[in-house]
Structure 1
Amino acid sequence: MAERKSVLLRLDPAIHDALARWAGDELRSTNAQIEFLLRRALSEANRLPDNAGGIPRRGRPRKSAKRDRTADPAPDLDEEPEAEAG
């Protein structure tokens, strides 16, 4: 992966605070939120380069796809409970 560029960004303190709150709501860092928003704006304007790399995965690695299949799965809360025969 190519080395990432660093930029100095001067923001109004109120804008920074709003971005930081929004990032926290979405479990992102402020920096990751800014990159997310810039990528979305570029994409919507059809200006996102084809060779733009993806956003790097941060945090813990995902759990393995293999899990204990002997345990009962959690009930699907969207489905109606089945009526008991009786």
Structure 2
Amino acid sequence: MAKEKKSFLLRLDSELHRAIEQWAADEFRSVNGQIEFILREALRKSGRIKSPPKAPDSD
């Protein structure tokens, strides 16, 4: 079952948006996908969400 996505307006200054846009392009993501990635990593590192389970090694 897919997780429900929430929509909301996010205001960023143009310099921050340009930096995220470039970072997203470097990693072949959309700006939205990059922001989600940044937030998820920050939450994981702070212990506020669990890390995704690691894939088993394929032998």
| TM-score using structure 1 length | 0.55
CA distance in 2, matches of 1:8, 1:26: 23
Q: Looking at secondary structure, tell me which structure has more helix per residue.
A: 2
Identical counterparts, % of pairs: 53
- 1:4 maps to 5
Matching residue of 2:23:
22
Structure 2 gaps, min length 5? 51-59
Give the number of aligned pairs. 50
Aligned to 2:42: 41
Relative CO higher for 1 or 2, CA cutoff 8 Å, sep ≥ 6? 2
Partner of 2:55: none
Q: CA–CA distance in 2 between the matches of 1:19 and 1:27?
A: 12
In 1: Cα distance, 2:41 partner to 2:4 partner: 21
Runs of 4+ aligned structure 1 residues displaced above 6 Å come to: none
Structure 2 length normalisation: TM-score?
0.78
Question: What amino acid maps onto 1:11 in structure 2?
Answer: L
- Structure number with bigger Rg: 1
